[in-house]
Chain A
Amino acid sequence: MSASAAFLQLLNGLASANSLFLVAAGLSLIFGVTRTINFAHGSLYMLGMYCAVTLIARLGGGALGFWASVLLAAAFVGVAGAAIEILVLRRTYAAPDLMQLLATFALVLIIGDFALWAWGPEDILGPRAPGLAGAVTILGREFPQYDLFLIAFGPLVLLALWLLLTRTRWGTLVRAATEDREMAGALGVNHKWLFTGVFALGAFLAGFGGAIEIPREPASLSVALSVIADAFVVVVVGGLGSIPGAFLAALLISEIKALCIGFGQVTVFGTVFSLSKLTLVIEFLVMAVVLVLRPWGLLGRAAAPARGPAVLEPRLPVPSRRALYALAALVAALALVPTLSTGYTLVLLTDILVFALFAVSLHFIAGPGGLHSFGHAAYFGLGAYGAGLLLLKAHAPMELALLLAPFCGALGALLFGWFCVRLSGVYLAMLTLAFAQIAWSIVFQWDALTGGSNGLIGVWPARWLSSQSAYYYLTLATCSAGIALLWRILYSPFGYALRAARDSALRAAAIGIDVRALQWAAFTLAGWFAGLGGALFAFAKGSISPETLAVPRSVDGLVMVLLGGLHTLTGPIWGAALFTWLEDTLARTVNYWHAVIGAVILALVLAFPQGVAGFARQRFARRGDDA
């Protein structure tokens, strides 16, 4: 790449940083004040894009029409944000962190289907910005005027936000709440409207970022998830709650991406690397490196320590003898199903069993372990691809592939877990998400090995297992055994130690527990069982696609666990059954089934903040069995 091309590419990166900064700043503000990770922030950005395109078509593409449309679109998204806060999020602040997240993920589904209904599935190209449609010549190359405008615009927004936060009373309240929410509350800051205001401002920024990007890229449905992933990375790299940090991180990541695209292919030691294909991975690598070196982000600071006793986790109930008999009876009943019914019922039950194992393995680390993984599908997917590759590339017999595949999941968890257990809370969640995204990117882009976006086909079980009922029995036996094993471990000294480390890492270390080593081992163990689930899934379907380990699959797992109840034992299997059945039924019968699932999740979160099984336990618990 010549020097002038490199320079242009750098300018290009600066222009891209603008929208990213706007979204990330909004996300960061919202997190700082309300401690909510707004998964739906990318969806708000997407709404901004669609609204701007529609408004420009109405108001005309002149200078006035264009800019009025951009501002109106942003304002509309801001109002939508306020409505979301008042109607939904306000009711979730008292719920556990993860339930809040679930609520915002439900919003992603609902907003996504709303956009699909309103604007259709096709990408919509926006007009050029009036007066800035041309190009200027820089170093003998053409560069769009609009991009130059954006380069100047980002710092202006930063300045405006800085003035808002430091020179106004409202801004002072926002900063106070970000630094120390308890103290701000004690000083009489009215949470309610401050939260609504901050959410509206954050949504406005997201909508603005989307609307102003219209001349550069088309409005599309896929933008919601790609933007939220990018914004997560920017916010975490910059430091949660830090606006200048978000600016710096947006610049850093946009520049690194731009350079990767600019360099294209490079040859190192005779091997051709396609750097442009690395763009998906590179930002998550940056994030992983930053989190390991500076766990609070580039400009972030450690959160104010919580005062008083730490958040108390509820006790993990010990199942009664009767409950164990009931579970055994359930397995026996499931074993009778093939004699009564075949075909579709067995396919669905096989899926439910596999996802029950997946959910239980996630619950193992997220509930009793306290490690809130947002990327558990990585290990499920590694197990699936491990099984497929062993069968297709190494020509191993299916039985051997099934036996070895879980170790692929465990190996991935061993590697990623080493980094993850060094962090906690939101940072751990983000790092697990980053690693899952890295795993996905590698699978997606390594065509030669994994088949890229097409995935692998022809992953069928051995002949003796090829009948539907035979494979169902294999799945039933394996998943029941796996779940029983994981549950047994929860009540072993290892499982107790895991809960101990979650309750008080300080106390755990002071009685000789090596907390990191323990959590690392648990992470790896959970990865092994997730991998087992993935391998069973691969042979059940006969094919594997990258979706097997994509972020939505990880979120599915969390939804199952949280629906069932994080602090229950059997909750995850009910959550898995309910969710898998619901998704399957809706996908076959309803047009906008994502939105319906979103609405169901939302209703459940608002009605049962402790999860369905948690609710049932509270409702029917007898008094006095607290020992």
Chain B
Amino acid sequence: MSLLTVRNLSKAYGAVQALADVSFTLAAGESLAMIGPNGAGKSTCFNILNGQVEPDAGAVELEGRSLAGLRAHRIWRLGVGRTFQIAATFGSMTVRENVQMALLSHHRRLGSLFSAASRAYREEADDLLAQVGMREQARRPCAVLAYGDLKRVELAVALAGRPRVLLMDEPTAGMAPAERSELMQLVTGMARKSNIGVLFTEHDMDVVFRHADRVIVLAGGALIAQGLPQDVRMNPRVREVYLGGDLLAEARANA
């Protein structure tokens, strides 16, 4: 059985059909890339998966359990972690405190009124930060970080919840090419090792084709192709959508 099953998801904003009848699955340990031009429905899909937006129709199941009607914080408790396209962190706190917050939440300690939060789960937080290469910056305020570093903090925060599914919206935005590869290697390695299903969007096709196990392609809210990276790359419909874009240029370069 697949880890995450998405069936016939649809969502309209007024006259705009953001998602139309989209179905796919995500297996444990798999890294699945979702690509498509701007406005294809990627972020809408993510927002539905983590409970921020209600779909008009369709179903999302995590290991057979329906996520319908659950708010974002409940879905996180079931093991769905997420990073945002525009990195969302707690700006008035330090990097470490951001991760500590997620750990406190994971261990259900947020109701505690009188213990000192700054001493809670420090080592665990630092371990997570070390994994994403942010250990040295643990004491810096999030407000002053470079964008790529914010993305790393988000990843550490998402991992603090011991997720079974990780949703990553443009995880490598703001990073140099070498860093991108490094981060994606880390993520896909972790996915395989810990049996996490990773769904990510990405504009850099290099990253997609090098690191994804499988690719799904959205255009105009509909799913137009899915399969192994090399198959999707050669798919005529995908080429059409990306005509003149990265994919075609790249296909030529690789030919």
Contacts and interface: CB of A to CB of B under 8 A. Distances in A.
A492 B93 contact: no
A489 B113 contact: yes
B101 A511 contact: yes
Given A314-B92, A509-B71, A491 B116 contact: yes
A314 B93 CA distance: 9
B176 to A, nearest CB: 21
B104 A493 contact: yes
Interface in A449-499: 488-489, 491-497, 499
A500 interface: yes
Contact of A491 (B89, B100, B117, B144): B117
B112 A510 contact: no
Interface stretch (B72-80, B178-186, B199-207): B72-80
A249 B222 CA distance: 43
A313 B140 contact: no
Given A314-B92, A315-B92, A496-B93, A510 B72 contact: yes
Interface string A557-590: 0000000000000000000000000000000000
Interface stretch (A262-270, A418-426, A512-520): A512-520
Given A492-B114, A512-B77, A497 B101 contact: yes
B114 A499 contact: no
A511 B160 contact: yes
A495 to B, nearest CB: 7
Interface in B73-120: 73, 76-77, 81-82, 84, 86, 88-94, 97, 100-102, 104-106, 109-118, 120
Nearest to A495: B117
Nearest to A497: B110
Contact of B76 (A493, A503, A512, A515): A512
Given A496-B117, A497-B104, A506 B84 contact: yes
B89 A493 contact: no
A312 B88 CA distance: 12
Interface string B106-144: 100111111111101000000000000000000111011
B52 interface: yes
Contacts of B104: 493, 496-497
B106 to A, nearest CB: 7
A310 B102 CA distance: 20
Contact of B141 (A310, A502, A518, A626): A626
Contacts of B29: none
Interface in A277-314: 309-310, 312-314
Contacts of A309: 86, 91
A493 B113 CA distance: 7
A495 B102 CA distance: 14
A318 B120 CA distance: 16
B161 interface: yes
Given A492-B112, A494-B113, A627-B140, A513 B92 contact: no
B151 to A, nearest CB: 13
B139 A627 contact: yes
B113 A496 contact: no
A90 interface: no
A313 B72 contact: no
A312 B100 CA distance: 20
Interface in A240-284: none
Contact of A493 (B52, B93, B115, B144): B115
Given A315-B92, A503-B92, A506-B84, A491 B72 contact: no
Nearest to A496: B117
Contacts of B112: 492-494
A507 B105 contact: no
A518 B111 CA distance: 9
Contacts of A488: 113-114
Given A491-B118, A509-B73, A518 B110 contact: yes
Interface string A438-456: 0000000000000000000
A591 interface: no
Contact of A507 (B77, B84, B92, B110): B84
Interface size class of B (residues with CB under 8 A): 35 or more
A510 B77 CA distance: 9
A568 to B, nearest CB: 13
Contacts of B88: 504, 506-507, 510
A500 B101 contact: yes
Nearest to A511: B102
Contacts of A514: 71, 73
A316 interface: yes
Interface in B155-202: 157-158, 160-161
A515 B201 CA distance: 27
Contacts of B50: 510
B115 A313 contact: no
B228 to A, nearest CB: 30
Given A309-B91, A512-B106, A513-B110, A318 B118 contact: yes
A518 B88 CA distance: 19
Contacts of A310: 91
Contacts of B89: 503-504, 507
A499 B120 CA distance: 16
Which of B50, B73, B94, B120 has the most A CB atoms < 10 Å from its CB? B73
A627 B92 contact: no
Given A499-B93, A500-B93, A504-B91, A492 B116 contact: yes
Given A493-B104, A511-B101, A511-B157, A503 B114 contact: no
Contacts of A515: 73
B120 A493 contact: yes
A265 to B, nearest CB: 46
A504 B118 CA distance: 19
Nearest to A510: B82
Contact of A503 (B91, B105, B120): B91
Contact of B92 (A318, A499, A508, A518): A499
A492 B102 contact: no
A515 B110 CA distance: 11
B109 A493 contact: yes
B114 to A, nearest CB: 6
A488 B112 CA distance: 11
Contact of B93 (A315, A509, A510): A315
Identify the 9 closest CB pairs spanning chains A and B, nearest first: A627-B139, A507-B88, A509-B72, A503-B90, A512-B76, A512-B105, A496-B117, A312-B91, A511-B102
Given A512-B73, A626-B141, 12 more contacts: A315-B93, A316-B92, A493-B104, A500-B93, A504-B88, A506-B88, A507-B84, A509-B71, A510-B81, A511-B101, A511-B102, A513-B73
7 contacts: A314-B92, A493-B111, A493-B112, A510-B50, A510-B73, A512-B106, A512-B161
